[in-house]
Chains A and B, each alone.
Chain A
Amino acid sequence: MAGNVWVLAEHWRGRLSDLTFELLVLGRELAVGLESRLEAVLLGHGAKDLAGSLGAADSVLTVDHPSLAEPNPEAYCLALAALVEERKPRSLLVPLTNVSADVPSLLSARLRISLSNFCRDVRVVNGGLQARCLLYGGKMETTVAVPGSPAVLGILPGSRAGSEARVDRAPLIEEVEVALPSEGRVRFEKYIEPAAGDVDITQQHALVSVGRGIQTRDNIALAEELAEALGGVVSASRPVIDQGWLPLTRQVGKSGATVKPKLYLAAGISGAPEHVEGMKSADLIIAINTDPQAPIFTVAHYGIVGDVLDVLPALSEAVRARKGIHA
C-alpha cells in the first residue's frame, strides 16, 4: 500500500480552521486515487477534544506537548519531521494561513523533500500527484508534477467545499509521543488583542465593505450611510485599513476576519485573493467597481460597473425608499 495522505489539522485558539476541512475533502480524493488512507495530524497541547471533529479522516495522529500549545513553527516542524520520518506518508497537505504557512518550507528543507506551494488544486494523475499552483498574485497558474515521497503541499483556501468533511463520525485516534525540547529557541509569550470597543464584523448580517475605490477617508461616510440603512456595518479591505481610515477590527481577508454575512457589498474592492478568502462564503455578494475586469466580479453574484461615489448614495436612497424610511 502506498504511503498515506496526511492533512495537518490546523487549529487556533481552540477552533479548527475552515481550511482544515477543505483539506480533508481534498485529501480524501487523493487518498482514494492513490488507494491509501487519509490521516489527520493534530499537534497541540490539551487540544485532544478537537480530534473528534476530524472524522472525515480514517485516523487522527495526535501529539500533545507544552511547546505545541500555541503556533510555533519550530516545534511544529520538529514534531512533524519526527512523524514523517517514522511513518513515511505519501504526502502531507498543509493549510496556508498565517498559522501554518511556513511549516511546509521548514519541513521540506529539514527533510529534503519536495514542496509544492500555493496549490489551488491537487489531483492524482497516473499514480502520481499533480498540483495546480497559483503564482504572481493569482495571475498565473503553474501545473507541476509533484516528485518524491513524502511530498509536502501547501494548499490555498478554496480548493474544495469544506462542508463535506464536517461529519459526525468518530475517527480512530492515536496518541503519539514525540520528543521535543522543553525550551525552544522560539518562545510564545502572549497574544495582543486589537483595540477593543468596536463592532465584531463577523457577527453582522450585512456588511458594506470599502476598498481603494472609496478614494478618501471622508467618502467612507457614504458607505456608513448605506450600512445604516441596511442595518449593518462598514468593513474594509487591507489598503483602507493600512491607511488608518478604519480600525483593524474592520479588516476582511487573510489577515483580517473571515465573514459570512447574508449580504456583502464590495464597494471599490478589486478582489485580490487575500481579500476574497475572507468573504467568499457570504450568502449574497454584490460588487461595485469601475474596472469591468476586476477579479471581484468572478466571486460576486451581482456586479455593477460604476463609481462607488455615485452608486452608494443611490443605493442608500433606494434602500431607504424601499424600507419606507425617509432620510
Chain B
Amino acid sequence: MNTLVLMKMVPDIVEELEVGPDGKSLDLESLRLIVSERDDHALEQALLLKERRGGSVTTMAIESPDIDEILFTALAKGSDRAVKMVGAEPPLTTSEAAALLARVLPDVPNLMPVDLILTGCQAIDDLDGLLAPILAEQLRIPYLGVVTGVDAETGQGRATVFKEYAGGVRGEYAVSLPAVLGIQAAEKPPRYVPVAKVRSTMKSRTIDTVPAPPRDETSQLEILQMTKPEATGRAEMLEGSPEEVASKVADVLSARGLV
C-alpha cells in the first residue's frame, strides 16, 4: 500500500488576523502559519495504514515558509520520504495548487504509481475549491471526501472507505484504487513526535525537491476585497454573581413557560 500524503500550510487562526494594506489579502506581519489540521489527520491515517498493511508513505508539499519543519516532522513520524515542489510563484489558490501537483506528480522520481493519495478534506483557505476532488478530477481517478477511516488489503485494487455523515452516521464505500481521499479525521488522533526526534531527523534526513512545472492556468476568481465579518447580533448580557445571574435566567425561563 503505497500512499502519498499532500500537506500545506494555512494561517493560524489562534492569532489575530488583519487585512493587509491592499485590502484584499491578509496582513503578512500578523500572520503565523500552521499545518492544515485535516492534512495532519491525512498523514496520521497514512501512517496507520502503513503500520497495518505495510508499504510506504511519501509526504509532499508545495514550498512555502515553515514547510520544511512540517516535512521533517512527517519523516520523524514515520513517513519514508518527503518531497517539496519548488519554484512555483506564490500565492497559489487551491485549484492552482491542484493543477501544478497533477502535472508534477508523474515527474517525481520513483513516486508514481501510488495506491492512495490522502490529503485533508478541506482547509480554511479553500476559496476556489477543495484540493482532493480537484486533484482527483485532474488525475482522472476516483475520489471520496469527509473520510474518517480507510482500509485496504494489498493487491486487491480497492479500498474500504468510511465517510462521515450527520448524527454520527457513517457510510461504507468500496473505492477502486488508485484514488484520492479527502480525510476528515484519522482513526486515531495525530501522533506526537518528540522535539528531539524532529531535530535529529533534520540532521539525518533530506527532503527531495522537484521543480514546479510552468503555470498555465490561473484561478478565475477576482477578489474584490477582504474584511473582517460584521457581528450579526449580540446577546443581551446578564451581569452579577452566579446566584444573581441564575435568578435572572430563571425569570426568563419562567416567562417563557420553561420552568
Contact = CB atoms under 8 A, between A and B. Distances in A.
- Which 8 residue pairs of A and B lie closest in terms of their CB atoms, listed nearest first? A248-B168, A194-B168, A303-B235, A109-B137, A314-B242, A185-B142, A318-B246, A314-B246
A90 B162 CA distance: 35
Main secondary structure of the interface of A (DSSP, over half): mixed
A193 interface: yes
A137 interface: yes
Contacts of B221: 114, 116, 144-147
Contacts of A148: 220
A143 B167 contact: no
B92 interface: no
Contact of A135 (B125, B136, B144): B125
B134 A109 contact: yes
Nearest to B122: A101
A321 B245 CA distance: 14
Interface string B51-85: 00000000000000000000000000000000000
A71 B142 CA distance: 14
Interface in B112-150: 121-122, 124-130, 132-134, 136-138, 141-146
Contacts of B225: 142-143
B249 A302 contact: yes
Nearest to B126: A117
B86 interface: no
B127 A116 contact: yes
Interface string A283-310: 1111100000000011111111110001
Contacts of B127: 116-118, 133, 135, 142, 144
B187 interface: no
B98 interface: yes
B166 A142 contact: no
Interface in B177-229: 179, 182, 184, 189, 220-229
A176 interface: no
Contacts of B29: none
- Most chain A CB within a 10 A radius of its CB, from B129, B134, B169, B182: B129
A321 B168 CA distance: 36
Nearest to B167: A257
A118 B222 CA distance: 15
A318 B128 CA distance: 50
Interface residues of A, number: 91
A101 B245 contact: no
Interface of B: 10-11, 13, 17, 19, 24, 26, 95, 98, 121-122, 124-130, 132-134, 136-138, 141-146, 160, 162-176, 179, 182, 184, 189, 220-229, 231-238, 242-243, 245-247, 249-250, 252-254, 256, 258-259
Contact of B245 (A70, A192, A298, A306): A306
A256 B173 contact: no
A262 B256 CA distance: 9
19 contacts: A73-B144, A98-B146, A98-B166, A102-B121, A102-B143, A106-B134, A136-B10, A136-B125, A140-B226, A144-B127, A144-B224, A185-B175, A187-B175, A190-B171, A256-B168, A306-B245, A311-B245, A314-B243, A322-B254
A202 B184 CA distance: 24
Given A256-B167, A304-B238, 14 more contacts: A74-B143, A98-B166, A105-B130, A106-B133, A114-B220, A118-B127, A137-B124, A185-B142, A186-B173, A194-B167, A255-B165, A255-B184, A258-B166, A314-B242
B236 A303 contact: yes
A254 B231 CA distance: 21
A146 B160 CA distance: 38
Contacts of A258: 166
Contacts of A298: 231-235
Contacts of B184: 255
A230 B258 contact: yes
B95 A115 contact: yes
Contacts of B144: 73, 186
B133 A102 contact: yes
